[in-house]
Chain A
């Protein structure tokens, strides 16, 4: 079945440093979504990428979808303490027509030292 791998599993940064998490799928994806989960909270939707090579920005966050639609990345510029949390990618395979089998990566847990 479809697998979505995310690296790194943990990342510790000093406030102001940049951060990147990478997501790789074993199969071609129709789209990819990114979620953020604060400690003790629930995942919250950030963004969805659909097109090959797509790049989207949300303030200090930059999201990319690979040309082959099998990988994606989230880059945070100049991290702040409010960025602390676990970032998940989630993808639907092109062959998954029901749309309900959204496969999540393992997540990257980000901690920011002030």
Chain B
């Protein structure tokens, strides 16, 4: 039982490139979300999903897209990378709206 798996662990992009951060969970949890973590700013919600086929925006959604075609997978797409998107990205899953978040190990992204 791996929990939440994120790939890759590290990524360097040039400005303007696109890429997809992968997130998969094997806990059959309905709720999944993406956070970015920047120094001194805690964890900010990018996008979230309450079930397959349902996604919504968090507090910092600009420049990112998500989809949720299955319960297990919740990829995050960067459409045209910018230096402001340099951050550590965490994917998380939870059973219900007041359940604990289970985080993946994170992806450290640098945009030059």
- Please give the residue numbers on chain A whose beta carbons come within 8 Å of chain B beta carbons, in ascending order: 1, 6, 9, 30-31, 33, 35, 41-45, 48, 50, 88, 90, 92, 98-107
Contacts and interface: CB of A to CB of B under 8 A. Distances in A.
B45 A105 contact: no
A102 B101 contact: yes
B46 to A, nearest CB: 12
17 contacts: A6-B42, A9-B40, A35-B101, A43-B90, A45-B102, A88-B43, A90-B43, A90-B101, A98-B97, A100-B31, A100-B49, A100-B56, A101-B59, A103-B45, A104-B43, A105-B42, A106-B40
Interface of B: 31, 33, 35, 40-45, 48-50, 56, 58-59, 90, 96-98, 100-106
B97 A42 contact: no
Given A98-B50, A102-B101, A42 B40 contact: no
A19 B58 CA distance: 32
A46 to B, nearest CB: 9
Contact of A101 (B40, B45, B105): B45
Given A43-B90, A104-B42, A30 B101 contact: no
A32 B109 CA distance: 29
Contact of A100 (B44, B48, B90): B48
A103 B41 CA distance: 11
B106 A42 contact: yes
B98 A92 contact: yes
